Amino acid sequence: SSALVWFRRDLRDFDHAALYHALKTHRRVFCAFVFDSEILDALPSRADRRVEFIHASVVELDAALRARGGGLIVRHGPARDVIPALAAALQVNAVFANRDYEPQAIARDADVAERLRVLGIGFSDFKDQVVFEKSEVLTKSSTPFSVFTPYKRAWLAALTPFHLKAYPVDKYAAALAAPAPDERVPSLAEIGFEPTNLGELGIACGMAGGRVLVDDFMKRIDRYKRGRDFPARKGVSYLSVHLRFGTVSIRELAAAAHARGGEGAETWLSELIWRDFYFQILWHHPRVVGGSFRPEFDRVAWDAEPGLFAAWCEGRTGYPIVDAAMRQINHSGYMHNRLRMIVASFLTKDLGIDWREGEKYFADQLNDFDLAANNGGWQWAASTGCDAQPWFRIFNPVTQSEKFDPEGAFIRRYLPELAKVPDKYIHAPWTLPPIDQKLAGCVIGVDYPAPVVDHAQARERTLARFGVLKGEA
């Protein structure tokens, strides 16, 4: 019997649930990846770092599979048509894939499964991208968790070595079937995309890139708790893009953190649990796509301020920590977690703009964009989500900046116009006396924008805006 493994956000040939199960139960196993035109056509630009990352990772995966006697059959087109057609042409008995929890992907997979069924071909999907999925971790009354801390407690209590055990793909690799001799991976141009600055940024793709980051982070993990909140320091793992596209294994990472123990590894494991948490929120409550987790928050009336939104997107708000963060995402597709919280709070609570606008902007820009985590993060910051920041607790962008970028090292990295502004004024440069602005070569309103809003006034407006919920939330 033969099977086809359909790779999606799991671009690796080790510890891979669908590949393992297919190899174990079939004599011949083909592997395929589809550059899905339904997804690619909707992207805002033809120069997209994610597509370049995926492309490079697919080239690497093909080479890795070829070295074991297999290889990747790569197609470009609507996956819902391509996969059934390919499965029929290869005359396989079944298609295997790892599960996706996003509503659009669930609908696509149901469609593919139905089309395969009509052809007499089976479709099986597997848990792979999370440690616990769907309803595996529930409250005592068998309902999904919507608060993180008890979820985490239950997650840790449910964990056994089995959940973190790697799928031994190697053992069964002999069943890998070679694709036709003329199969090759199309170039980036052939799928309609242009190169980006990914290489220049030093973002290493594929399993090899993931491995380098894992090895580097494991040397620093003990210091994670102390360093993770400071964007100018190398305190975090930078693994999110690899977790997004499955060039690393969540089981391997969670197992390493769990085995290591200590405050650094435990805090990092907590972040991986947040990842599972938001996946199960999305699974149980797909209405969070476009709607507030707490529906009463959809009564909040946001301001539509195109000028202010553009200033936020382009890093011209006059608040250095916000502007430096936005320039980081625009330049690299990455933004540090502390900064994501700060800019999301700024957009919603200082500019009064709907969180969905920011969510969409992040979705377009982030290399690690993941619907579950991004939606969760935005609803947290906007106070509309499960276990969110209470609406009356509003980040002050200046004090956040003083606390987490005390010398302005991060700010100066992205805002060279503020290079000579003294540390004391770097977080609120409009408070620097005009004569000193001249001396520092940074005249506010000329070399760097004046603040687009006054934080204290914005705060009052936000408290009034959320006031419609008084007594309810």
| Chain residue at closest Cβ approach to ligand FAD | 377
Beta bridge partners of 123: 95
Give the SS3 label for residue 196: coil
Is 350 a residue that touches ligand FAD (CB under 6 A)?
no
Q: Which of 58, 59, 254, 381 binds ligand FAD (CB under 6 A)?
A: 381
Least CB distance from residue 310 to ligand FAD, whole Å?
19
Q: How many residues bind ligand FAD (CB under 6 A)?
A: 28
* Nearer CB in complex with ligand FAD: 25/337: 337
Q: How many CB atoms lie within 10 A of CB 263?
A: 12
Is 274 a residue that touches ligand FAD (CB under 6 A)?
yes
Is 258 a residue that touches ligand FAD (CB under 6 A)?
no
Is 252 a residue that touches ligand FAD (CB under 6 A)?
no
Least CB distance from residue 458 to ligand FAD, whole Å?
18
Return the residue matching tokens 């909040």.
Answer: 300
Q: Which of 275, 327, 349, 427 binds ligand FAD (CB under 6 A)?
A: 275
Q: Are 100 and 370 in contact (CB under 8 A)?
A: no
Residue from 266, 305, 330, 337 carrying the catalytic annotation: 337
Give the SS3 label for residue 6: strand
Give yes or no: 155 in active site.
no
Beta bridge partners of 29: 3, 176
Is 341 a residue that touches ligand FAD (CB under 6 A)?
yes
Is 309 a residue that touches ligand FAD (CB under 6 A)?
no
Q: Which of 370, 387, 405, 417 binds ligand FAD (CB under 6 A)?
A: 370
Q: Which of 332, 374, 383, 389 binds ligand FAD (CB under 6 A)?
A: 374
Q: Which two tokens stand for residue 210?
A: 């993931």
Q: Are 207 and 32 in contact (CB under 8 A)?
A: no
Is 278 a residue that touches ligand FAD (CB under 6 A)?
yes
Least CB distance from residue 336 to ligand FAD, whole Å?
6
Q: Which of 51, 243, 269, 418 binds ligand FAD (CB under 6 A)?
A: 243
Annotated binding residues for FAD: 224, 268, 271-278, 368-370
Is 344 a residue that touches ligand FAD (CB under 6 A)?
yes
* Nearer CB in complex with ligand FAD: 240/328: 240
Q: From CA 288, how far away is CA 166, in angstroms rounded?
A: 32
Annotated binding residues: 224, 268, 271-278, 368-370
Q: From CA 324, how far away is CA 320, in angstroms rounded?
A: 6
Q: From CA 71, how far away is CA 31, in angstroms rounded?
A: 7
Least CB distance from residue 424 to ligand FAD, whole Å?
28
Q: From CA 124, how far away is CA 130, in angstroms rounded?
A: 17
Q: From CA 266, how far away is CA 257, in angstroms rounded?
A: 7
Least CB distance from residue 216 to ligand FAD, whole Å?
11
Binding string, residues 408-447; x marks residues near ligand FAD by CB under 6 A: ----------------------------------------
Residue from 136, 183, 271, 402 carrying the catalytic annotation: 271
Is 318 a residue that touches ligand FAD (CB under 6 A)?
no
Residue from 302, 330, 396, 430 carrying the catalytic annotation: 302
Q: Are 397 and 455 in contact (CB under 8 A)?
A: yes
Give yes or no: 302 in active site.
yes
* Nearer CB in complex with ligand FAD: 93/330: 330
Q: Which of 2, 93, 124, 337 binds ligand FAD (CB under 6 A)?
A: 337
In the 8-state DSSP scheme, what is residue 126? E
Dihedral sign from CA coordinates of 83, 89, 90, 92 = positive
Q: From CA 182, how far away is CA 71, in angstroms rounded?
A: 11
Residue from 355, 367, 380, 391 carrying the catalytic annotation: 355
Give the SS3 label for residue 245: helix
Q: How many CB atoms lie within 10 A of CB 456?
A: 8
Least CB distance from residue 228 to ligand FAD, whole Å?
6
| Segment contacting ligand FAD by CB under 6 A, of 52-60, 103-111, 231-239, 422-430 | 231-239
Q: How many residues does the chain have?
A: 473
Residue among 90, 83, 68, 73 nearest 23 (CA): 68
Q: Are 350 and 382 in contact (CB under 8 A)?
A: no
Give yes or no: 283 in active site.
no
Q: Which of 47, 150, 175, 238 binds ligand FAD (CB under 6 A)?
A: 238
Cα Rg of the chain (Å, integer): 24
Give yes or no: 274 in active site.
yes
Residue among 5, 9, 79 nearest 40 (CA): 79
Please state, in angstroms and as integers, the Cα–Cα distance from residue 82 to each residue in 32, 247, 448, 449, following that order.
Answer: 10, 23, 51, 51
Q: Are 44 and 190 in contact (CB under 8 A)?
A: no
Residue among 81, 18, 12 nearest 4 (CA): 18
Residue from 155, 283, 378, 391 carrying the catalytic annotation: 378
Give yes or no: 312 in active site.
no
Which burial class, exposed, middle or buried, applies to 221 when counting CB atoms under 10 A from its CB (0-12, 13-18, 19+)?
Answer: buried
* Nearer CB in complex with ligand FAD: 75/294: 294
Q: Which residues in this chain contact ligand FAD in the complex, by CB under 6 A?
A: 228, 236-240, 243-244, 271-272, 274-275, 278, 337, 340-341, 344, 362, 366, 368-370, 373-374, 376-378, 381
By annotation, the residues acting in catalysis are: 271, 274, 302, 337, 355, 378
